[in-house]
Structure 1
Amino acid sequence: MTAHDHPPHTPQPASADGFTADGYDTVRRTFQRLLDDGRETGAGLSVWRDGTEVVRLNGGWADTGRRHPWTSTTLVQPYSLSKAFAALTALTAVRDGALELDEPIAAYWNGYRAHGKDRTTLRHVLTHQAGQPRFPASAAALDLLDDAGLRTALEQAAPEYPPGTSMGEHALTYGHLIDAVLRAGAQTTLGEAFNDVVRPALGLDAWFGVPDHELHRVADLEYADPDWPRLLPAAPWLQTPAGALDTERANSRAWRRSVFGGVNLHATATTVARFFSHLTAAEGPLRRLLGPQLQQEYISAQVTGHDTVFGTPLTWTLGFLRDRTKIAKGGVGGSVGWWSITHGHACAYLTRRLDDHSRAAEIAAALGDDLTVRTDG
């Protein structure tokens, strides 16, 4: 972290920009309070209901120099929220018959048979049961952007537990496992399939590998506290290879143009909330993309148990966390998207200020939602 991450005496914009429909004044006030209190320095908030965006708020700055205000077109990296989109990309290959959810992925990726991984399925991967929640120690010397090296490290490593017997969010490995299976079984990559198939089908303003002509829209990440990376409960799962939580690396052109499918989607708040608004819809682009059976597989509970990374009981779908009130996915640093089963709305809070999830939790409370993930239904 450098001194210019928090320039002294730089004023925040006086008010949040955007709009709120009638009945959402509490949401606007909550968002404004986060800006006024300095807990937020750059974020976008979107809420969709009945096919309409009813809240679109932007506040703070998109850059560490505090020169460019955050706008509705600002792209930001939401860390593990990216996983829901990586999983969806894999499911398009299932739709096409190139992959199967319950066939061993070693049938496509022959080298993956090593060390007891021969029965690992795509369903195990998508539900964080593949036994590779982190890269092995052998990957410590690899560069963060050495895609081929990291895939090989996963191929050659023994799982931390027999696949399908336990679960823990595959923090950095998720996208690389999906990418490797797509390469072997569908002759495409995660980045290619997402950008060429998923993006246009759903009308997403989101990218795995931001193209040069869109880089000017990407927000700079910054720490709320210089010690934030070290204090994270998930830190042990994010250390290998080094650099995933390094803002200098994350803010680099090379990183933004790369595909690191577990964490580095870049998207707007509006596009994420709109995406979540389609999750359960019987008519809409997600249903048209996947068909009714795979759409239901995508959002339905697949496994419930103790997640060894989160350290708490959770229910995973093929890409989301789910309980009786919501379908949700968040990312380290504070970005969250969710569909409220209870209230029938979708929300995305995307931030560049890396901190905890209390800001999104306050937005959720203003909407009558609770972001605490339970396993009671």
Structure 2
Amino acid sequence: MKIDGTCKRGFERIAEAFERNFGERGEVGASVSVTVGGETVVDLWGGKANQETNAPWTKDTVGIVFSCTKGATSLCAHVLASRGKLDLDAPVTELWPEFGQHGKERVTTRMMLDHSAGVPALREKVKDSGPYEWDYMTERLAAEEPFWVPGTRNGYHGFTFGWTVGEMVRRASGKSLGTFFQDEIAKPLGLDFWIGLPEAIEPRVAPMIPYIYKPAQTRTPFMTDLSKVPTSPASLFFFNVGAWRTGGANTRAGHAAEIGAANGITNARGLAGMYAPLADGGKMRGGGKLVDGKTLTCMGEVSMATHDDATLRIPTRFALGFMKSMDNRKRSEGAKIFGPDIDSVIMGSAAFGHVGAGGSLGFADPAAGMSFGYTMNRMGPGLLLNDRGQALVDATYLSLGYSNKDGGVWVR
């Protein structure tokens, strides 16, 4: 398997892990990128971008990163907060009056970011074109009755997050979510990263290969909710998403829409590049800061945690729009079925970022001065990382002199 790119001395074990993913873990096409102190130390890609045509994964190949998009959407909110244009603790109704229905009057943007706002899904059937129509989705969410008293617990807002937080970005900035992300984050940082893909970029997109579960692999609380509890947040989040459910991730319509929870398109370089300023005190190359110090500190702190996420049905820990290290090696049924790297994402204590369905990942670790990105086109099992992504994260921390992750976070 041909692997291209660059790897600086001292980080060879990341390249070795990346190569083993192809030889031992079934990788098809993928990219990995790491920055330290704002400098790119690893930028690798390899394999096939398209299994049907055998087209190779090249330097400029991009792909859908699913929930890694939530990190980009969250960053938009924090940029606005840093500029004084969005108060995370003010009632959402100050900017979005229509949202204050059925007991949601006291919801704050903070609750939207940490998945405690109480609208992890929509109950009534979403029309096929719904996810591609911004106003339709925001109107539905404004009218939705919360699944719990907002702020009292959390449950992953797997699809709705894109319109709850995204609408706050739109109202605070006066721009659509995708436009704000391009103008204020992607372009200034020089990233190939879009929420709402231009048609001209379409030929560069690697189609996603879904993971097909065997019956014996579906005995987890999340899978049980999918199959047996149609009114559960898990089932509604997974199935009640209009045309997105039937292959939307591999369609032009699915790429062109602005779905701030799920349809960001980039590669590892884009993910690591987005998080690089957050690993380096907020500083941007060329001067200036993406966010101020107060905002950056706030972004990395745990805001909500639970032993049983109302949607994912595993223990989860969230900062404001970002995942924190989650060690479920002995705590999830998925880990018992697939192995210890399923349903976990083990990073440093200071790290924050986001996993995408199938196993992609982007994060910043300010304590290590490091940012990380990994994308691929063959999805793996489980709800968080799988063995391919975690192997690359582990190799990164070992390369930086960290010693073990026995306590659930990487330590020196």
Normalization by structure 1: what TM-score?
Answer: 0.86
User: Any residues of structure 2 matched to 1:240-259 within 5 Å, and which?
Assistant: 240-246=240-246, 248-259=247-258
Q: Does 1:50 align with 2:37?
A: yes
Is 1:135–1:172's contact at 8 Å kept on the other side of the alignment?
no
Cα 1:142–1:66 change in 2 (3 A) is closer
Aligned partner (choices 140, 150, 153) of residue 163 of structure 1:
150
Cα 1:106–1:347 change in 2 (3 A) is same
Deviates more, 1:170-179 or 1:52-61: 52-61
Cα 1:257–1:183 change in 2 (3 A) is same
Deviation at 1:256, TM superposition (A): 1.1
Deviation at 1:367, TM superposition (A): 2.7
For the residues of structure 2 that align with 1:182 and 1:337, how far apart are their CA atoms?
Answer: 21
Is 1:364–1:371's contact at 8 Å kept on the other side of the alignment?
no
Deviates more, 1:150-159 or 1:19-28: 19-28
Query: What amino acid is the match of 1:346?
Result: S
Aligned partner (choices 58, 77, 80) of residue 71 of structure 1:
58
SS of 1:85's partner is: helix
Percent identity over the alignment is 25
Aligned partner (choices 154, 169, 179) of residue 182 of structure 1:
169
For the residues of structure 1 that align with 2:406 and 2:242, how far apart are their CA atoms?
Answer: 30
For the residues of structure 1 that align with 2:297 and 2:159, how far apart are their CA atoms?
Answer: 26
Q: Partner of 2:333 in structure 1?
A: none
Deviates more, 1:291-300 or 1:81-90: 291-300
Is 1:361–1:371's contact at 8 Å kept on the other side of the alignment?
no
Deviation at 1:106, TM superposition (A): 1.3
Q: Does 1:334 align with 2:374?
A: no
Q: Partner of 2:303 in structure 1?
A: 302
Q: Which runs of 5+ in 1 are unaligned?
A: 1-13
Q: Partner of 1:9 in structure 2?
A: none
User: Any residues of structure 2 matched to 1:276-315 within 5 Å, and which?
Assistant: 276-282=275-281, 284-285=283-284, 288-306=289-307, 307-315=309-317
Q: Partner of 1:239 in structure 2?
A: 239
Deviation per CA, 1:132-182, whole angstroms, max 9, x where unpaired? 112223436663323222211111110101111111221000011123223
Deviation at 1:250, TM superposition (A): 1.4
For the residues of structure 2 that align with 1:373 and 1:127, how far apart are their CA atoms?
Answer: 24
For the residues of structure 2 that align with 1:223 and 1:138, how far apart are their CA atoms?
Answer: 24
Normalization by structure 2: what TM-score?
Answer: 0.79
Q: Partner of 2:260 in structure 1?
A: 261
SS of 1:139's partner is: coil
Query: What amino acid is the match of 1:311?
Result: R
Q: Does 1:204 align with 2:191?
A: yes
Is 2:279–2:365's contact at 8 Å kept on the other side of the alignment?
no
For the residues of structure 2 that align with 1:64 and 1:106, how far apart are their CA atoms?
Answer: 47
Is 1:142–1:150's contact at 8 Å kept on the other side of the alignment?
no
Q: Does 1:364 align with 2:393?
A: yes
Q: Does 1:143 align with 2:168?
A: no
Deviation at 1:52, TM superposition (A): 1.8
For the residues of structure 2 that align with 1:371 and 1:243, how far apart are their CA atoms?
Answer: 40
Matched length: 362
Q: Which runs of 5+ in 2 are unaligned?
A: 227-234, 326-348, 399-403
Deviation per CA, 1:100-135, whole angstroms, max 9, x where unpaired? 111111122121111000000111101111001122
Cα 1:191–1:126 change in 2 (3 A) is same
Deviates more, 1:319-328 or 1:44-53: 319-328
Deviation at 1:340, TM superposition (A): 4.2
Q: Partner of 1:318 in structure 2?
A: 320
Deviation at 1:185, TM superposition (A): 4.1
Is 1:280–1:299's contact at 8 Å kept on the other side of the alignment?
no
For the residues of structure 1 that align with 2:178 and 2:243, how far apart are their CA atoms?
Answer: 21
For the residues of structure 2 that align with 1:72 and 1:292, how far apart are their CA atoms?
Answer: 33
SS of 1:115's partner is: coil
Deviation per CA, 1:279-311, whole angstroms, max 9, x where unpaired? 242251297122222222222222333432333
Aligned partner (choices 329, 348, 351) of residue 373 of structure 2:
348
Query: What amino acid is the match of 1:291?
Result: D
Q: Partner of 2:334 in structure 1?
A: none
For the residues of structure 2 that align with 1:295 and 1:41, how far apart are their CA atoms?
Answer: 36
